């Protein structure tokens, strides 16, 4: 149980060092394992696999229509999987809730391809729009941790009057890496070379540690609160660099023009 999707870099390193192919999968406490790369099934890089036996997976928009990118859901009624919980118990009344509609919604967003393979996009409340483009923090974070100076990264939206929101990266550096302008410039260049222009990072925030839950998941909600003007509650040194402070990027050196 990783709590977060496995980054492609980890999968590649394990294969290079030990010749093993990691078979990623997906499940919840409420559902047990529902998607996976079963033995004998071809593994697609970045995919968490296909629905496991006993599970029918639907990818839905807010109107419960099937889409190629949307929320992972399980049908209820006659198609209800045996591994799905009965529901959440209301502490006051003892009534069950959460599984009384047509679908149980997981709160996670995924893409499905023509072969039925599913790729994790992000938690529904973590995915955000910038200039009307949908941005998955996981995709940007996966690019960031491929940089030699980056130990961990979390991407959240910052409100923007023109674009609605823009991506901001909170970065914990590896031991020995300096939280300075040179490191920020290197990371900006690294990201710009690998991401579409609309996914460009607008700010990098170096932190001592990223806030996490007791199970080790990054608390992006805490970082989003900070970007929205609230209190992020970060401990240790915090150093922020804006993309606009680097004229060498605006001139086209190391990335697409602004």
Same domain, yes or no: 139 and 224: yes
Is residue 156 a part of any domain in this protein?
yes
173 lies in the same domain as 96: no
Q: How many domains, the chain?
A: 2
Lowest pLDDT segment from 81-95, 192-206, 229-243, 244-258: 244-258
Cα–Cα nearest to 68, from 56, 79, 77, 59: 59
Question: Residue 255 contacts by C-beta under 8 Å, 6 or more apart in sequence?
Answer: 188, 189, 192, 193, 200, 249
72 lies in the same domain as 118:
yes
190 and 204: one domain? yes
Residues 165-182 have pLDDT tens digits of 999 999 999 999 999 999
Domain boundary among 122, 152, 170: 122
The string of pLDDT tens digits covering residues 227-252 is 988 777 787 889 999 999 999 997 65
Output the domain CATH number for residue 108. Answer: 2.30.38.10
Q: Do 96 and 140 fall within a single domain?
A: no
Task: State which of 87, 122, 157 marks the end of a domain.
Answer: 122
pTM: 0.78
H helical segments located in the chain? 8-18, 137-144, 181-192, 220-227, 247-250
Let me know whether 75 and 149 are in one domain. Answer: no
Q: How far apart are CA 120 and CA 240, in angstroms?
A: 29
- Same structural domain, 71 and 152: no
Specify burial of residue 75 (Cβ count, 10 A radius: 0-12, 13-18, 19+): middle
Does one domain contain both 160 and 105? no
Residue 181 belongs to some domain of the structure: yes
**Integer Cα distance of 29 and 104 in angstroms:** 13
Q: Which domain holds residue 201?
A: 128-250
Same domain? 113 vs 141 = no
pLDDT at 8: 74
As beta bridge partners, residue 70 has 110
Residue 91 Cα distances to 88, 96, 97, 98, angstroms? 9, 10, 11, 14
Strands 50-51 vs 133-135: parallel, antiparallel or unpaired = unpaired
For residues 118 and 133, membership in a common domain is answered with no
């Amino acid at each position: 149980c990783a709590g977060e999707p496995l980054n492609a870099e980890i999968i590649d390193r394990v294969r290079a060092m030990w010749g093993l192919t990691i078979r990623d999968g997906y499940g919840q406490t409420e559902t047990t394992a529902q998607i996976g790369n079963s033995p004998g099934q071809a593994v697609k890089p970045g995919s968490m696999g296909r629905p496991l036996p006993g599970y029918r997976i639907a990818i839905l928009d807010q109107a419960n229509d099937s889409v190629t990118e949307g929320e992972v859901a399980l049908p209820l009624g006659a198609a209800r999987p045996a591994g799905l919980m009965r529901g959440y118990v209301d502490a006051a009344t003892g009534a069950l809730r959460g599984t009384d509609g047509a679908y149980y919604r997981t709160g996670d967003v995924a893409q499905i391809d023509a072969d039925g393979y599913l790729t994790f996009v992000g938690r529904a409340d973590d995915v955000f729009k910038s200039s009307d483009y949908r941005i998955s923090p996981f995709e940007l974070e996966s690019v960031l941790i491929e940089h030699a100076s980056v130990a961990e990264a979390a991407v959240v939206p910052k409100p923007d009057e023109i674009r609605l929101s823009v991506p901001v990266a909170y970065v914990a550096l590896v031991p020995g890496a300096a939280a300075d302008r040179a490191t920020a410039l290197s990371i900006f260049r690294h990201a710009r070379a690998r991401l579409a222009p609309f996914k460009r990072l607008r700010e990098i925030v170096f932190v001592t540690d990223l806030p996490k839950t007791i199970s080790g998941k990054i608390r992006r909600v805490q970082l989003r609160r900070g970007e929205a003007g609230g209190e992020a509650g970060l401990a240790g040194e915090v150093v922020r660099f804006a993309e606009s402070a680097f004229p060498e990027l605006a001139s086209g050196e190391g990335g697409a023009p602004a």
